[in-house]
Structure 1
């Protein structure tokens, strides 16, 4: 059986280390995981005034999440919290009221940052916000890595073999979590 994992990159940066982190995870992911991006980069800022004409990009985002067996979120930490774009996407995800495309699904929140705490506080804020949707949070192993563009090689994996081994073990643990709960 193949499990579809929707992934969300919490940064809007085209050179995001979190995009690279997901690439490193996919590079060593078990073959029964299929990854598809749920991209929110074109979302308008959420306002109830826009719900009557629900944006197509938000509909497509939610459809990807609804069709997925699990969700992976890789996000930096901005000012010790959630990046604004990701919070906006989460606000759209819960609309119209009562909508819940991730309820009961395996969820893994990871992150990388150039800062020394590697997005740890940002992850806590993401998990707290997403608790409203009641996903099945995988909380171990925690993955908050200090990384920059030079941390990754041509093959998309981490240059440091120990870090890539940790990433591989984490994505394998997520796969096992999905197999048990999806």
Structure 2
């Protein structure tokens, strides 16, 4: 089994706890799974008037096309998903016949205040339905970013959440294999 996963973080901050979740996932992926982190820093907002896609968009679309599955780091901004993550999905969904997203498995994890990023993740699931991504139902990963679970650089240090991330990656591998049949 060899699975190529593209991780996309909705936060652009280098020390983001959501980016920290994805870094932990990348470092602890199960055997046969390789996780690459997308860079959204230079991806402009989707604009149908652009005559040519910017280089950062072309790179992102190439990475999505090569991925067997996606892993979203979903921050919660004002009870919803972050614009950078939604924008990445918007760009990909505009490809002919939605070919980059249709039928692709995806797992979602997030770190934020209070309830983690549950509200944002549920909004993201609605977007996934529309663009025909297949989100993994369980296990869900909702981490509280403000209870000592992360260090000052945004790295995940909480063993319980680390275990949840590893379980989600194992489930994503099985989900991808099931959908690939």
Task: Settle same-fold status: TM greater than 0.5.
Answer: yes
How many corresponding residue pairs? 179
Query: Aligned-pair distance for 1:29?
Result: 1.9
- With over 3 angstroms needed to count, the CA separation of the structure-2 counterparts of 1:76 and 1:29, relative to structure 1, is same
CA offsets, 1:62-117, max 9 Å, x none? 1111111111101100000111122222221122453331211111111111x111
Which residue number in structure 2 is paired with residue 118 of structure 1? 116
Q: How does 1:170-181 map to 2 (within 5 A)?
A: 170-181=168-179
Match of 1:144 among 142, 145, 155: 142
TM normalised by structure 2 equals: 0.88
5+ residue gaps, structure 2: none
Which residue number in structure 2 is paired with residue 4 of structure 1? 4
Query: Aligned-pair distance for 1:157?
Result: 6.7
Alignment partners' CA distance in 2, 1:31 and 1:39: 24
5+ residue gaps, structure 1: none
- With over 3 angstroms needed to count, the CA separation of the structure-2 counterparts of 1:16 and 1:76, relative to structure 1, is same
TM normalised by structure 1 equals: 0.88
Which residue number in structure 2 is paired with residue 84 of structure 1? 83
Which residue number in structure 1 is paired with residue 159 of structure 2? 161
Give me the CA root mean square deviation.
Answer: 2.1
Aligned to 2:163, the other structure's residue is in SS state helix
Which residue number in structure 1 is paired with residue 36 of structure 2? 36
